[in-house]
Amino acid sequence: MEAEKKTMSAKDLRKLQLVELEMLLEVDRICRENNIMYFIAYGTALGAVRHKGFIPWDDDLDIRMTRKEFEKFERVCKTKLDTDRFFLQTARTDSEYRWGYAKVRRKGTEYLRAGQEAIKCVSGVSIDIFIMDNIPDNNIMAGIYYLVRRGCIKTLWSVIGVTAESNLLKKFLYRGLRHVPKEVPLGIMEWLGKRANKKATKRMCCMSFYRQDAFRKNGKWYERGTVLSEWFEEAVEIEYEGFMVYICKDCMAYIECEYAEPWKYPPESQRLIHPPKSYNLDVEIDLRGCSIEEQMKKEYLYLTKEDWEKGRGE
């Protein structure tokens, strides 16, 4: 189905969300059975507290793991992942994959975002697993880490930047960077992460992923994606689409670090879905035996801060 410059229908969006939920439940199963700690993150975490599931207009699902936990997850998936339905995608399992974070892909689906045609990796509906590494407490060293990882990420993105970038100087730079073997920037970022992980630090980030946006709140700047290490020392259960999954223990502190106004609903004109270039969701979904028909008809919740606090007994 071609969907260029068009948003998905509400029905297709819900089907996409349920395919992603199926993958989250597979990750949850593997992690519970093998004592691996994971956390839902970003908009998925916000959706859990504000909607008890997906944000109604959200089309992706995010997970965080520390590098130590992800490496265990990666090893276990070699024998425990249901490979009839799923594929754990990393730069090691897919020679064309260019990112330092991982994805779980749903086999039998098609999903391609416009502008990413240049990357010839395995495609399909996916969820992201962001691998967290420590950041040096020393601000100078942290700044060096930031610049190096940003350069590495730009190098990996260069195959897209050659066509997507409008600035002629940057486009020229990307033409050169795209010839750098992906193993070079990926290796640098992995080395940086493991180096910083040798001792405990106050902050963490996904070394291979950064956001350019930040916001100021209560006189303090917040860079989205950079979190306090103490938030991810313990995972607790939270309801998500009728299932129990894991989130960091102090989830509201984390969410308020990612979003300036987490309880403020944007106007409908800003509730945008990323339009894919093409997609095919024609697969049978297994949500631990739950009725897919009922899940498709399920109404989204719009909770308030008071609802959240009341539900926690505060």
- Taking only the tens place, the pLDDT of each residue in 211-250 is 766 666 677 766 778 899 999 999 999 999 999 999 999 9
Arithmetic mean of pLDDT, 133-150 = 93
Arithmetic mean of pLDDT, 131-151 = 93
CA distance 82 to 285: 13
pLDDT of 250 = 92
Q: Residue 34's pLDDT band (boundaries 50, 70, 90)? A: very high
Over pLDDT 70: what percentage of the chain?
93
- For the cut 90, the answer to whether the pLDDT of residue 265 exceeds it is yes
Please tell me which residue, 312 or 163, carries the higher pLDDT value: 163
Summary mean pLDDT of the chain: 91
pLDDT of 14 = 96
Q: Residue 179's pLDDT band (boundaries 50, 70, 90)? A: very high
pLDDT of 1 = 39
Per-residue b or e along 92-129, where b marks 16 or more CB atoms closer than 10 Å to that residue's CB? ebbeebbbbbbbbbbeebbbbeeeeeebebebbbbbbb
pLDDT of 228 = 94
CA distance 120 to 52: 35
pLDDT of 2 = 39
pLDDT of 3 = 36
Arithmetic mean of pLDDT, 296-310 = 93
Over pLDDT 90: what percentage of the chain?
76
Greatest alpha-carbon span in the chain = 57
Arithmetic mean of pLDDT, 283-292 = 95
pLDDT of 271 = 84
pLDDT of 80 = 97
pLDDT of 214 = 61
Q: Where is average pLDDT lowest: 44-53, 56-65, 233-242, 265-274?
A: 265-274
CA distance 52 to 49: 6
pTM of the model: 0.93
